[in-house]
Amino acid sequence: MPRLFGTDGVRGVANSELTPKMALDLGEASARVLGAAHEGDGRRRALVGRDTRVSGDFLGSALMAGMAAGGFDVIDVGVIPTPGLAYLSTVLNVDFAGIVSASHNPMIYNGIKFFGKGGFKLSDAKEDEIEAILGDDWDHPTGENVGRISHDVETPRKMYIDHIVESATAETETPLKGLRIVVDCANGATSPVAPVVLRRAGADVVVINASPDGYNINDHAGSMHPEGLQAMTVASKADMGVACDGDADRCLAVDAQGNIVNGDQIMGILARALKQQGRLNGSTLVVTVMSNLGLKLALRDMGIKTVQTAVGDRYVLEEMMKHNYTLGGEQSGHIINRQFATTGDGTLTALTLAAEVNRSGKTLSELAKDFPQLPQELINVRTPRKQEAETSAVIQKAVKDAEKKLGDTGRVLLRPSGTEPVVRVMTEAATDEQAKDVCQRLAGIVADALK
């Protein structure tokens, strides 16, 4: 049986693959596993939040019911960015938290992931413990030992907004003064957050895609569909634009001309700034195997080392914690600043990037040019047999042939997605034409082998 938990929690089509029954079972199982470490004699407490998908209502209710049935008092904080829930779990000192979200995926999907005590994503081992007892019969608490559910949206949201603003306003209350910024909220969880944060930091903010209706999350909006952001940034004569995804754990940007500034470039800009300020521990940035070779070469010339991990911001965080590194993330825009967060935070990234534009006195375009990207091509091959990509002799031979063709001028990366039924085929090369040619050939072989 394939593992239930993927790279970032449990994902599936809402009410089909991810059902209320599964959410209920996950609530109970997580309460049993994560409540075992509860200290003291007080009531055990948990938080639950969600993004703006309509299915979040019934899945969140089922998840909370399972937690309460497992003996936890649950605080429902409503719609909140995923990193907001992680932060709240630390300051409210709960035993654990659960977020109902499918992040950047289309509305039809939803997901559930957990944060342990201290706001950190669970280890594979802890997720395996939850999965091992999922749906088992057990002796449920009764009487005064069952949990209750309460609801508080405004107070937790304000706490999170205050925290984000304070992270960038230590030296001045308005670090973004003079900047016009377009923010695309993806009709997702940061719709009531990011515009407030950027305005409080002094920016003139133009807001798009911040009217969630339960069905329009990520729909031609946000970091996965930046075309609207690019057009509005140019049309409004803004200095820059930023876009989060549905649960706001990632951020991409565009410069004043509408050119994309991806996660690699954002990480480069922030890493250099932190090094200049003496705050980049070990003069090291943690990246994943998806990061562009151009970023690593540029940082090397700046005296900044890179450490590489598997794809997934929790693996980035594990490496950061192991060696006390400050900054890390992914090309997709998941960027972790351990000074202020325990997970990727798109709103925080947008704020700190904009603050660096003002601090440096340079445009975002000028900053990004210091981190040129080698031509890169990515094709997602949709297949329910994605795991076989790593064992197929035909596919592995094709990968070796592609690597031989590219030589030292590029690289190939092929991996099953941890959140979607796709195999990601990525190539880097000296020219766009070569990157596309190799990637298309390899993607075709993968599609034929796993059809």
Inter-residue contact 135 to 25 (CB < 8 Å): yes
Residue pLDDT tens, the chain, 451 long:
578 998 789 999 999 999 999 999 999 999 999 987 776 678 999 999 999 999 999 999 999 999 999 999 999 999 999 999 999 999 998 999 999 999 999 999 999 999 999 999 998 899 999 999 999 999 999 999 999 999 999 999 999 999 999 998 877 889 999 999 999 999 999 999 999 999 999 999 999 999 999 999 999 999 999 999 999 999 999 999 999 999 999 999 999 999 999 999 999 999 999 999 999 999 999 999 889 988 998 999 999 999 999 888 889 999 999 999 999 999 999 999 999 999 999 999 999 999 999 999 999 999 999 999 989 899 999 999 998 999 999 999 999 999 988 887 788 999 898 778 899 999 999 899 999 999 999 999 999 999 8
Residues 246 and 297 in one domain: yes
Of 126, 152, 178, the one marking the end of a domain is 152
Q: How far is CA 366 from the centre of its chain?
A: 26
Residues 40 and 187 in one domain: no
pLDDT in the model for residue 408: 74
Residues 139 and 193 in one domain: no
pTM of the model: 0.89
Tokens 């890390």 — which residue?
328
Residues 249 and 305 in one domain: yes
Backbone dihedral region of 240: left (phi > 0), alpha (psi from -120 to 50 degrees) or beta?
beta
Of 135, 152, 169, the one marking the end of a domain is 152
249 falls within a domain? yes
Where residue 46 sits, what CATH number does that domain have? 3.40.120.10
1 falls within a domain? no
Residues 129 and 170 in one domain: no
Residues 290 and 436 in one domain: no
pLDDT in the model for residue 146: 96
5 falls within a domain? no
- 208: three-class secondary structure by DSSP: strand
Using alpha carbons, select from 58, 64, 59, 60 the residue that is nearest to residue 27: 64
191 falls within a domain? yes
Q: How far is CA 402 from the centre of its chain?
A: 30
Q: Whole-angstrom Cα distance, residue 434 to residue 406? A: 8
Catalytic position from the list 101, 103, 191, 332: 103
- Asked about 123 being catalytic, the answer comes back as no
Using alpha carbons, select from 135, 159, 141, 54 the residue that is nearest to residue 101: 54
- The number of folded domains in the chain is 3
382 falls within a domain? yes
Residues 141 and 264 in one domain: no
Q: Whole-angstrom Cα distance, residue 424 to residue 416? A: 6
Residues 116 and 228 in one domain: no
Residues 33 and 140 in one domain: yes
115 falls within a domain? yes
pLDDT in the model for residue 39: 67
Using alpha carbons, select from 449, 436, 442, 124 the residue that is nearest to residue 310: 124
395 falls within a domain? yes
Range of the domain at 78: 10-152
Where residue 386 sits, what CATH number does that domain have? 3.30.310.50
Residues 326 and 397 in one domain: no
- Label the pairing between strands 335-337 and 327-329: antiparallel
Of 330, 348, 368, the one marking the end of a domain is 368
Residues 335 and 405 in one domain: no
